[in-house]
Structure 1
Amino acid sequence: MKFLDLAKVYIRSGGGGAGCVSFRREKYIEFGGPDGGDGGKGGSVFVEAVEGLNTLIDFRYQQHFFAKTGQHGMGSQCTGKDGDDIILKVPVGTEIIDEDEETILADLTEVGQKILLAKGGNGGWGNLRFKSSTNRSPQRANPGQEGVERTIWLRLKLIADAGLLGLPNAGKSTFLSTVSNARPKIADYPFTTLVPNLGVVGIDNKEFVMADIPGLIEGASEGRGLGDQFLGHVERCSVLLHLVDGTSETVAEDWQTIVTELEAYSEKLFTKPRITVLNKIDALDEETLEERLAELQAVAGPVQVMSSVAQQGVKDVLRELWSNIHPDITDAEDAGPWTP
């Protein structure tokens, strides 16, 4: 299944049916009076977050959604049938954005959340509604209310507890495949990861969800490489894991590149808790490791070391992530009730 995280959709609610002008005409009944029924209501357009979806690819093949118009009223006081509603089913984590691409109308973060996007028009009154003591045979009826037509954007932001950041080939996909059952594409060339990946990570009988996004490069905020379009998928994360390639000769510059792009993208993302890790230490000798670790610590502060391939330091990193995701849970609470 292809991954799509942004879609433009055109919606229109149904208009209400027109009221009817009708009079009762039966044998032996004179002056039967008006009996025109009301028009039916137009269908509305809703959006609902459902389970089992992780992409907006369905909206690439269908962008127009028009609800049904209400049926017109009829004689014998018959009200027209209401138009059928339309429900757009989207993945959890989808934002509904107005046509200006800035105003957020709704953020669906839970399964079952349902939002009204366009309300159907009310049906018009039939001439029976206008009958009064001074107007015994009204000749008028109301037209139905028109529906609402609008353009919206659907933007998917994956819901994860931790997010992976780093330059291309920093080892993000390898780390995710090591600590979870996710199987992202792994190769020895840049931009192997083209779409975000999710994996469920387990450590000490605890689980959390981790998101891996395509690597960033210098100038990503200006559109270079794959740009910063995928950074939205780590906005919901409680903590970010910044991997720095230990085999690079410019670890400090590599770290600064990612931090600069985060700041250019969003102040909220820039101030989010980050854990910096020097990766691929299995490919370094002790002297080189100490030099590059000191160089990175000089700009990034505390730094952990890890090798996903050799399984060195992986558990310590995962425990650090868990403590940032659930800072209110202590080790005593994790251990459960005391038993003799």
Structure 2
Amino acid sequence: MELKDTKQTIEVIKQLVQIPSPSGNTGRVITFVQKWLEEKNIPSVITNKGSLIVTEEGKDTSKHRVLTAHVDTLGAMVKEIKSDGRLKLSMIGGFRWNAAEGEYCSVETSDGNMISGTILMHQASVHVYKDAGSASRDEQNIEVRLDEVVHNAEDTRALGIEVGDFVSFDPRVEVTESGFIKSRHLDDKASVGILMSVLEKLHTAGETLPYTTHFIIANNEEIGYGGNSNIPKETVEYIAVDMGALGDGQASDEYTVSICAKDSSGPYHYGLRKQLVELAQKYDIDYKVDIYPFYGSDASAAMKAGYDVKHGLIGAGIDSSHANERTHVSSISHTEALIYRYITALMPKE
């Protein structure tokens, strides 16, 4: 199976990030993934919670593996319609308001209409507000300026907007000539695109995996419980494919696959982590082992839910997580390669 060419993976990621899917409103992107898979003759099922599962039967059906990536993203919900027709927001997921300030957005009404706007400080104008730079970036001061003629709350409601409507952020995706892909929502649609690409390449090559392997496209990770259900009882290994967080003191970068040793939930399974490192070394896959101090994954959520599995976490290195994110095609490539080498490898003997 050819692993070097990531053009297809990047194109899939570009399509994914442009589909609004804040946690709680992911039906459109899950449908996109399922139809994409159907075109490749890859069957899938959608669960009651709205996630998607692809099962590849392996030579050994007594031991199963699970890989998961999440398609839900950060976003917001209309908290209040102000007297001037602008909107106050309630946050979906763990970001900081300053990371969304100035971003274009879309409000989805209950009848499916998308109304554009901009997320701004109420005190945005430096010519009017003395505290434009110093005022707190919080739910009291951040608001949505709609791109419609509205003068009051009644005008806004006449557009069909109400409290509880979802607000998604414009991804502004771009792939540079130097190989960077920059966009919101690379957490975790970069990983979803990688799993989709691996699945297609497996089917094209007609490969049978050594163990039955389930690919879960989760849809509630950003709020804490994405992939901790629908895990078959035969599962012995569970890997979350999610971003590697970059910053001061971190080992990960935008050019390698990040293998997590520990996050805020505690250490990941040591034996599984060592296996991933050995595979990377054996197949010349560039990697970094890292610790993420303020992080949790679907794998750690599964552990908290009580599943008796070995859990791991790998992913592309993503700069500026939960803000204007970026990674490099080389990181995508190395992550894809490690996933393939893992799912085609035998489990170590105890």
Query: Normalising to structure 1: TM-score of the pair?
Result: 0.28
TM-score by length of structure 2 reads 0.28
The structure with more radius of gyration: 1
Larger RCO: Structure 1 or Structure 2 (Cα < 8 Å, ≥ 6 residues apart)? 2
